[in-house]
Amino acid sequence: MLDLLNGFVVQLREAGLPVSLTENLDAMDAVQHIPIEDREAFKYALGATLIKNQAHWRSFETVFEVYFSLRGPEYKLANADGESSELDDLWREMQDASQEGDGRGG
């Protein structure tokens, strides 16, 4: 999950959005407390922690939709051999990790 979120922050910065290290850490903490499969909650948790200026919201939404659009199991990405891709594997790992984390105090 760390690499996934770091990649997203890089994309936000490349789009011209100022994201500080503190905001990045806050986002990583926030998403540990929501179900990863709840896309809307995931998006708003990231937005609440990473975006501090209303003028940046539209850019955030665009980057979010592009970055996470091919990371859901409904896309069933496969390589040339017909095997599931690393993105599918990553998605499953994220879901497993979020389920294992249920019940942890915070």
Helices (H) and strands (E) in the chain, counts: 5, 0
Please check the confidence at residue 104 and state whether its pLDDT lies above 90. Answer: no
Residues 55 and 45: their CA atoms lie apart, in Å, by: 17
Tell me the average pLDDT across 71-90: 49
pTM: 0.63
Give residue 106's pLDDT: 40
Residues 75/92, Cβ–Cβ less than 8 Å: no
